[in-house]
Chain A
Amino acid sequence: MSGIFSKGAWLKVWTYRSTFGFGLLNTLETALAGVLLAMMIGIILGLMAASEKKILKGISRVYVELIQNTPLLLQICFLYYALAFSGNSLGIIATGMISLGIYHGAYMAEVIRAGIEAIPKGQSEAAASQGFGYIGRMYYVILPQSIKIILPPMVNQVVNLVKNTSCLYIIGGADLISLTYSFVTGATTGGAYAPAYLVSGALFFIICFPLSKLASVWENNLKKRDKKVNVAGNKERKVA
């Protein structure tokens, strides 16, 4: 652990603080675009998976299985090299945004499907009998109830997405981890391993920890409330 207490190494990190700032900005930018894309894909495919039509279900299933069972790193490389060798490269950051969106879109779709399927079918049938169309049923009846089931795992996915921006390293990215690595191995800046890794780890922790804590607290509260409802229900049944 040499270097963690060395003043020179810390000074070096402080001098090049703009590198870390730039990396953090890139990571956040990529993550934000990735989250938006993942949400869009997730909502569309999640609704498709929860629908009645077999063909829509099938498409969504195939997408989710294909994406969830192959590594993100492979998908990023695939997209990047396929674009690069066919002569229309998008640039590293844009490639990262797209592949992060595609990858986590599959997970979001599963989360949304599970949330919708947790609502009893009777709700949807009751709404239909009241004359609601598909959109009205989803918007006024199903989604408001499933949103509290959907949100905690969705926040967990956002945490994973932020962590996965580090995958940009393999295509020569400019995210926080890649810049930290080129900082510690650079010819003029090299050597300050411990402080640099500590700083970039701390930055990730500051972003991810509150989010994952929020998700777990949220989920626990939900479970507790469900338990209470169940207990109350059982009691009523016993009295009756």
Chain B
Amino acid sequence: MDTLEASFSILKNSSIWIYILKGTAFTLVISIMGIVIGVLLGSVLALVRNYCNTPKTIIFRWIATIYIEIFRNTPHLLWIFICLVFCPCPEIFSQKMLGLTSVETKLLFKAGVALVLVTSAAVAEIIRGGLNAIPEGQFEAGHSQGFHSVQIMIYIVLPQAFKKVIPTLLSQVITTIKDSSYIANVATIELMARVKKILSSANMYNGTGTINVSDVFVLFGLAAAIYFIINFSISCVVRGMQKQNKQADRAVLENINMEC
């Protein structure tokens, strides 16, 4: 039990806490950036893949399809490695900032690009699911009212589609937060990597001079708890929304049945 106490004494060190909490902040920032850009890019991809059907624009449909299928069927880590070598990095991201060295900001930018690529493909498929659930009649009704295609998209179809897929998009946020831990493979910036780094030098902090099993449990347990708190609160929101949607659907169905 001495080693366990020694492991907990690591957590009494306030600089360790600051280090870990900064990592948590990075995890959140990276994931939010990834999901926001991913949703923007993914919406465009989904629209292009679904509605570019004329002979002139069908090439864009093919490009979007190939993009989505490639990023959905190859591992995330591969894209991180590819981006490290081939992704160009703008000037702004090749300098010291946010307490990171210039090398780390570069790595962060490149790994972030990989995260956006993978997330956008996943989001595109989610949004396409929502678009496919919109009945054909909505388009016809829009056309009959004199809307043109872009207006129909913006005012009629997209709002309904987004409303349908919001729970799924939120679970994609959980996936993205978990996926951001892949960056630990190449750089020590976010939560996962920082905890692993503390573990590798735990012998300096716990006072026993060696790394013990209890250190693994305490440190990774803490990281798991942080991830769990963030993701579980999101998944509770998701579940609440799904329940609401189901109730709304049931109410609509009952109305239809009564009319019949």
Contacts and interface: CB of A to CB of B under 8 A. Distances in A.
Interface of A: 1, 65-66, 68-74, 77-78, 81-82, 85-86, 159, 163-167, 169-170, 177, 180-181, 184, 193-194, 197, 200-201, 204-205, 208-209, 212, 234, 237-238
Contacts of A1: 86
Contacts of A86: 213
Contacts of A81: 199, 216, 220
Contacts of B257: 237
Interface in B192-237: 192, 196, 199, 211-213, 215-217, 220, 223-224, 227-228, 231-232, 235
B148 to A, nearest CB: 29
Given A71-B179, A73-B185, 20 more contacts: A65-B232, A70-B227, A70-B228, A71-B181, A73-B181, A78-B216, A81-B199, A81-B220, A82-B216, A85-B216, A166-B77, A166-B78, A167-B77, A167-B182, A170-B184, A170-B196, A180-B81, A193-B86, A208-B73, A209-B69
A163 B74 contact: yes
B110 interface: no
Contact of B260 (A166, A167, A209, A238): A238
Contact of A212 (B72, B81, B86): B72
A3 B110 CA distance: 20
A46 B102 CA distance: 48
A69 B174 contact: yes
Interface in B110-159: none
Given A81-B216, A85-B215, A170-B185, A70 B78 contact: no
B77 A159 contact: no
A74 B73 contact: no
B78 A197 contact: yes
Contact of B224 (A78, A82, A166, A181): A78
A109 B73 CA distance: 23
Contacts of A166: 75-78
A204 B73 contact: yes
